Chains A and B, each alone.
Chain A
Amino acid sequence: MSMNLTTTDQDLKTRLQNWLPKIVLAPSFGLVVFFVYGFIAFTLYLSFTNSRMLPSYEWVGWQNYERLFQIREWDIALNNLVIFAILYISICTVIGLILAVFLDQKIRGEGVLRPIFLYPMALSFIVTGTAWKWFLDPAIGIENTFHLWGWQSFSFDWIKDRDMAIYAIVIAAVWQSSGFVMAMFLAGLRGIDDELLKAAQIDGASNFNLYRRIILPQLRPAFLSAFVILGHLAIKSYDLVIALTGGGPGNATALPATFMYSYSFTRNQMGIGSASAVIMLLTISAIMVPYLYAELNEKKR
Chain B
Amino acid sequence: MRSILSVKAAAVLATCISTSTASAQDVEVLHWWTSGGEAAALSVLREDLSESGYGWVDMPVAGGGGSDAMTVLRARVTAGNPPTAVQMLGFAIQDWAKEGALSNLNDLANEQNWSTVVPSALQAFSTYSANWVAAPVNVHSTNWVWANSKIMAELGIEQPTSWESFIAAMQAAKDAGYTALAHGGQAWQEATVFDSVAMGVGGPAFYKAAFIDLDSDALGGAQMVEAFERMETLRGFVDENFSGRDWNLATAMVINGEALFQIMGDWAKGEFVNAGQTAGEEFKCFRVPGSDGTVTFNSDQFAMFKVEGSAAEAQLAMASAVMSPEFQVAFNIVKGSVPARTDISDEEFDACGKLGMAQLAQAAASGNLFGSMAHGHANTPSIQNAMYDVITAHFNGEYDAATAAAELVTAVELAK
Q: Do chains A and B touch in the complex (CB under 8 A)?
A: yes
The yes or no answer to B64 lying at the interface (CB within 8 A) is yes
Judged by DSSP, the binding face of A is loop
Q: A137-B241, A162-B396, A268-B95 are in contact. List 18 more A-B contacts (CB 8 A).
A: A54-B74, A70-B414, A160-B185, A160-B240, A160-B241, A160-B244, A246-B187, A246-B244, A249-B244, A249-B392, A250-B398, A251-B392, A262-B385, A266-B70, A267-B382, A267-B385, A268-B380, A268-B382
Question: Complex formed: what's the CA distance from A54 to B95 in Å?
Answer: 10
The yes or no answer to A248 lying at the interface (CB within 8 A) is yes
Binding site for A on B (CB under 8 A): 2, 64, 67, 70-71, 74, 77-78, 95-96, 99, 185-187, 240-244, 380-382, 385-386, 389, 392-393, 395-398, 414-415
The yes or no answer to A106 lying at the interface (CB within 8 A) is no
- How many chain A residues sit at the interface, stated as a range, is 20 to 34
Question: Complex formed: what's the CA distance from A138 to B240 in Å?
Answer: 9
Inter-subunit contact B396/A268 (CB<8 Å): no
The yes or no answer to A286 lying at the interface (CB within 8 A) is no
The yes or no answer to A182 lying at the interface (CB within 8 A) is no
Nearest-CB distance from B412 to chain A (Å)? Answer: 12
Q: How many A-B residue pairs have CB under 8 A?
A: 85
Question: Complex formed: what's the CA distance from A133 to B249 in Å?
Answer: 13
The yes or no answer to A192 lying at the interface (CB within 8 A) is no
Residue numbers in A under 8 Å from B64 (CB-CB): 242, 266
The yes or no answer to A177 lying at the interface (CB within 8 A) is no
Contact with B along A259-276 (1 / 0, CB 8 A): 000100111110000000
Inter-subunit contact A248/B70 (CB<8 Å): no
Nearest residue (CB) in A for B398 is A250
Inter-subunit contact A251/B380 (CB<8 Å): no
Inter-subunit contact A265/B392 (CB<8 Å): no
Residue numbers in A under 8 Å from B2 (CB-CB): 24
The yes or no answer to A71 lying at the interface (CB within 8 A) is yes
- A:223-268 near B, CB below 8 Å: 242, 245-252, 262, 265-268
Inter-subunit contact A162/B244 (CB<8 Å): no
Nearest-CB distance from B2 to chain A (Å)? Answer: 8
Residue numbers in A under 8 Å from B242 (CB-CB): 160
Question: Complex formed: what's the CA distance from A71 to B414 in Å?
Answer: 8
Residue numbers in B under 8 Å from A162 (CB-CB): 396-398
Inter-subunit contact B70/A265 (CB<8 Å): yes
Nearest-CB distance from A167 to chain B (Å)? Answer: 15
**Which of the residues A138, A247, A252, A267 comes within 8 Å of B241, measured between beta carbons?**
A138
Inter-subunit contact B67/A266 (CB<8 Å): yes
Binding site for B on A (CB under 8 A): 24, 52-54, 67, 70-73, 133, 137-139, 157, 159-160, 162, 242, 245-252, 262, 265-269
Residue numbers in B under 8 Å from A137 (CB-CB): 241, 244
Inter-subunit contact B385/A249 (CB<8 Å): no
Inter-subunit contact A249/B185 (CB<8 Å): yes
Question: Complex formed: what's the CA distance from A250 to B71 in Å?
Answer: 23
**26 intermolecular pairs with C-beta atoms under 8 Å apart:** A52-B382, A53-B95, A53-B96, A54-B74, A137-B241, A159-B243, A160-B240, A160-B241, A160-B243, A160-B244, A162-B397, A242-B64, A246-B186, A248-B187, A249-B185, A250-B396, A251-B393, A252-B396, A265-B71, A265-B74, A266-B70, A267-B381, A267-B415, A268-B95, A268-B381, A269-B382
| With contact pairs A265-B71, A268-B380, A268-B382 given, residues A248 and B415 touching in the complex (Cβ less than 8 Å) | no
CB-based closest 3 A-B pairs: A250-B396, A139-B241, A160-B243
Question: Complex formed: what's the CA distance from A240 to B74 in Å?
Answer: 24
Residue numbers in B under 8 Å from A24 (CB-CB): 2
Nearest-CB distance from B102 to chain A (Å)? Answer: 13
Residue numbers in A under 8 Å from B71 (CB-CB): 265
Question: Complex formed: what's the CA distance from A252 to B389 in Å?
Answer: 10
Question: Complex formed: what's the CA distance from A242 to B186 in Å?
Answer: 12
Residue numbers in A under 8 Å from B187 (CB-CB): 246-248, 250
